Amino acid sequence: MPPFPAQEAARPQPGSHHRPAAFPTLDEISQIPEGLGGDGRGSASFSPPSLPGRAVAAGTRKGRRRGHLRPVRPPRRARPSRAAALAPRPLRPPGMTSRPWREAATLLLAVGGGRPRPSAAFDYQVLLLQRSARSAFMPSAQVFPGGVAEPADFSPAWRELLPKGPRCGLGAEPPARPPLFTAGRPELGEASLPADVAFRICAIRETFEESGLLLLEPAASRADAPPRLLPSAAGLEEWRRRVQGDPGSFLELCRQLGCAPHLRALHEWGNWLTPVDRSRPGQRRFDTAFYLCCCPGQEPPAVSHDRQEVAGCRWSTPSEAVELFNSGDIWIAPPQLYELCRLCRFSSLHDLERFSVGRALEGCERWMPIHLMASDGRINLLPGDDLYPKDPDFTGERKPVLTTNKNIEELMKEVKNLHRIVIRSLTNVTIHMNIESKYKHINPVTVASKM
Phi, psi (deg, nearest 5) at residue 175: -70, -35
What pLDDT does residue 133 have? 75
Is the separation of the CB atoms in 313 and 302 below 8 Å? no
Question: How far is the C-alpha of 248 from the C-alpha of 202, rounded, in Å?
Answer: 11
Is the separation of the CB atoms in 246 and 240 below 8 Å? no
User: Around Cβ 413, how many Cβ atoms within 10 Å?
Assistant: 7
Directed axis angle between helix 195-211 and helix 249-257, to 10°? 90
Rounded (5°) CA angle 415-416-420:
75
Question: How far is the C-alpha of 429 from the C-alpha of 415, rounded, in Å?
Answer: 20
DSSP-derived 3-state class of residue 102: strand
Q: Which residues contact 297 (CB under 8 A, 6 or more apart)?
A: 113, 114, 226
Question: How far is the C-alpha of 382 from the C-alpha of 370, rounded, in Å?
Answer: 7
Question: How far is the C-alpha of 345 from the C-alpha of 279, rounded, in Å?
Answer: 36
DSSP 363: B
- State how far the alpha carbon of 33 is from the alpha carbons of 9, 12, 212, in Å: 10, 8, 14
DSSP 327: T
Is the separation of the CB atoms in 306 and 209 below 8 Å? yes
Question: How far is the C-alpha of 91 from the C-alpha of 149, rounded, in Å?
Answer: 6
Rounded (5°) CA angle 14-19-21:
135
What residue ranges of the chain have pLDDT lower than 70? 1-98, 114-120, 136-137, 232-234, 278-281, 307, 400, 447-451
Q: Are strands 102-112 and 286-296 parallel, antiparallel or unpaired?
A: parallel
Report which of 178, 251, 245 is spatially closest to residue 216, judged by C-alpha positions.
Answer: 251
What pLDDT does residue 136 have? 65
Q: Which residues contact 365 (CB under 8 A, 6 or more apart)?
A: 176, 178, 271, 383, 438, 439
What are the pLDDT digits (tens) for 190-236? 889 999 999 999 999 999 999 999 999 998 777 777 787 877 666 78
DSSP 176: B
DSSP 332: B
What are the pLDDT digits (tens) for 308-363? 778 889 999 999 999 999 999 999 999 999 999 999 999 999 999 999 999 999 99
